Chains A and B, each alone.
Chain A
């Protein structure tokens, strides 16, 4: 009994700090957000209440639905673009780079942009895509166009490019980790049994790297759907994401209850994505042992 008491004490000594942290900076704010989402609004204030009017607005006013769909579509495009960029890179790192040093160098080079401020990296794309930017200068220099074009910046395409670039490390890391874990002998066995390179990739390498792809998708999707900087910097009109609307509600519109309701919806979308990816990953892991 005494032993057990000490074990309980040890447990709490170790976990009280993280539990306290988790509670005060995660759980309590979420609960506050949840309760504010039921408040009613009396401009310019909001008063404690319990009613579903804010959620009803989200359902009735089609602009919120549109923004939500746009956010989902852009996040999906970002995830897909990041995947298309990252998979070959991760594959190259895991299988084609022979020297350990070179691998470390390239991997670090992929990750290092994470140390640079998000804002700065998003801004960089302005100087690339803008009418005075590098892309335009290059195209004019090569003679493809004669005048600077404005089609590159301030649209959804620019947002997708920017976010895909910024979130690529989050896609590369898990894919690389899962590719690296695949024993070379499995790939050799597949070739030995008659499958040429690409067939081996489709049947062995790709399925075995799916947990990494899934994790990458989850990260990238979760990060993009909550993003509100790239719409402001490179998005232009018609590129408001759900996070921008939330920011507006808490800022200029002074409608915290509606903003909270939107936040709750966003939270549940992300939770849904994480749960789905976790379920898929579990099924995969069961298959692989």
Chain B
């Protein structure tokens, strides 16, 4: 696929010397749904605003369809933005808001009317054209903002935290719907969010950003299952990070901490035998071996004592004491009622298994740094 957008060595420093974006290079292909994910202050919004033309980089370049648009103002680049607060013009009706871009471009009245109508149909608000933004619900405002940003047929649509104003239920619906609209119209979407679930549900590719730099780029599965750094591992989903001593066992590695003895796939990164590493295990990758539960082939089996149980409706979180520095968190999805699940009680022991390819080892200092930053906490 052709690159629609290329960022090369883009750097932006704000007054006061805060480096918001630090030497970022990035290729975005036509038609993809890309999400920039990270905590506030990681540089994701600044990057988005530089693509939109609301900020200009100190150095580096931005190419759109091969053309240098680095220093073009927003009105001279075929990119549109859906703003976090939707930025609907309060003195114009929904239809006037949507048709604003066309009116500015000097499109004829008849054509504006027709295209606005088509947009209202696309966002499933065919009768709301005459309403003022103040007469619409938050969800409807969001749709109007989307329609307004799409009507100029931008090469790229920028979405700045589009779901942040919505409540949880509406958020879920809109995430799917926005994804559907993207698939239907085929425009390249670049979204900024701090919500990791949202990024995984919606995007083709995710860029995890940290302190103005790109930490990792990849699909949701790549990032979630194969995080390259402790930062990415901690930012997406929840994780156990347990200090463990590593030893070699034939072709694979063994990580030991307390009663734990876990086989880890060797990724060839040259881990020294006897060194202490952070053992990374996703809580839901641990299988409880209750009555009749069988471990996967090649999975490590271990036993721990139940310290605490937390019931959250569809799942139970079990904190196991495995004799390591910190308890091991286990997420157990409930496919029965809690009474029928036959879970061990507090104080009882529980046997579990975990597959070697789901487990990773990270540098212990790196993990300490990430935890000090409070990521994923």
Task: Say yes or no: is A117 at the interface (Cβ < 8 Å to chain B).
Answer: no
Known: A185-B83, A289-B135. A191 touches B89 (CB 8 A): no
Sample 24 A-B pairs with CB under 8 A, ordered by A number: A183-B87, A185-B85, A186-B90, A189-B81, A189-B83, A189-B89, A189-B148, A190-B100, A191-B53, A191-B73, A191-B75, A192-B79, A193-B100, A193-B152, A194-B101, A194-B152, A195-B75, A195-B100, A203-B100, A207-B91, A287-B91, A289-B90, A289-B133, A289-B135
Docked Cα-Cα span, A185 to B54, in Å, equals 10
Task: Say yes or no: is A208 at the interface (Cβ < 8 Å to chain B).
Answer: yes
Interface residues of B in 102-137 (CB under 8 A from A): 104-105, 132-135
Task: Say yes or no: is B74 at the interface (Cβ < 8 Å to chain A).
Answer: yes
Q: Which residues of B contact A (CB under 8 A)?
A: 52-54, 73-75, 79-81, 83-85, 87, 89-91, 100-101, 104-105, 132-135, 148-149, 152
| Contact present for A195 and B104 (CB under 8 Å) | yes
Interface residue tally for chain A (C-beta within 8 Å) = 21
Docked Cα-Cα span, A169 to B89, in Å, equals 29
Task: Say yes or no: is A44 at the interface (Cβ < 8 Å to chain B).
Answer: no
Please pick, from B52, B54, B87, B105, the residue contacting A186 in the complex, using a CB distance under 8 A. B87
Task: Say yes or no: is A199 at the interface (Cβ < 8 Å to chain B).
Answer: yes
Docked Cα-Cα span, A192 to B87, in Å, equals 11
Task: Say yes or no: is A13 at the interface (Cβ < 8 Å to chain B).
Answer: no
Docked Cα-Cα span, A193 to B90, in Å, equals 16
| Contact present for B87 and A196 (CB under 8 Å) | no
Docked Cα-Cα span, A190 to B85, in Å, equals 14
Task: Say yes or no: is A204 at the interface (Cβ < 8 Å to chain B).
Answer: yes
Interface residues of A in 102-135 (CB under 8 A from B): none
**Would you give the shortest CB distance from A161 to chain B, in whole angstroms?**
34
Q: Which of A185, A189, A192 has the most CB of B within 10 A?
A: A192
Which residues in B have their C-beta under 8 angstroms from that of A284? 91
| Contact present for B91 and A193 (CB under 8 Å) | no
Task: Say yes or no: is A66 at the interface (Cβ < 8 Å to chain B).
Answer: no
Task: Say yes or no: is A147 at the interface (Cβ < 8 Å to chain B).
Answer: no
Docked Cα-Cα span, A66 to B10, in Å, equals 69
| Contact present for B90 and A192 (CB under 8 Å) | no
Task: Say yes or no: is A188 at the interface (Cβ < 8 Å to chain B).
Answer: yes
Apart from A189-B83, A192-B80, A289-B133, what 8 extra A-B contacts exist at CB < 8 Å? A183-B85, A183-B87, A192-B79, A193-B100, A193-B152, A195-B100, A203-B104, A208-B90
Q: Which residues of A contact B (CB under 8 A)?
A: 183, 185-186, 188-196, 199, 203-204, 207-208, 284, 287-289
Docked Cα-Cα span, A13 to B85, in Å, equals 44
Which residues in A have their C-beta under 8 angstroms from that of B105? 194
Known: A192-B81, A193-B104. A186 touches B75 (CB 8 A): no
| Contact present for A199 and B74 (CB under 8 Å) | no
Which residues in A have their C-beta under 8 angstroms from that of B52? 192
**Would you give the shortest CB distance from B98 to chain A, in whole angstroms?**
10
**Would you give the shortest CB distance from A140 to chain B, in whole angstroms?**
47
| Contact present for B91 and A208 (CB under 8 Å) | yes
Docked Cα-Cα span, A208 to B91, in Å, equals 7
Q: Which of B101, B104, B105 has the most CB of A within 10 A?
A: B104
The residue on A at minimum CB distance from B79 is: A192
**Would you give the shortest CB distance from A271 to chain B, in whole angstroms?**
28
Which residues in A have their C-beta under 8 angstroms from that of B73? 191, 196
**Would you give the shortest CB distance from A268 to chain B, in whole angstroms?**
32
Which residues in B have their C-beta under 8 angstroms from that of A186? 87, 89-90
Please pick, from B79, B87, B132, the residue contacting A189 in the complex, using a CB distance under 8 A. B87
The residue on B at minimum CB distance from A99 is: B15
| Contact present for B85 and A192 (CB under 8 Å) | no
**Would you give the shortest CB distance from B201 to chain A, in whole angstroms?**
26
| Contact present for B134 and A288 (CB under 8 Å) | yes
Which residues in B have their C-beta under 8 angstroms from that of A195? 75, 100, 104
The residue on B at minimum CB distance from A185 is: B87
| Contact present for A288 and B90 (CB under 8 Å) | yes
**Would you give the shortest CB distance from A190 to chain B, in whole angstroms?**
7
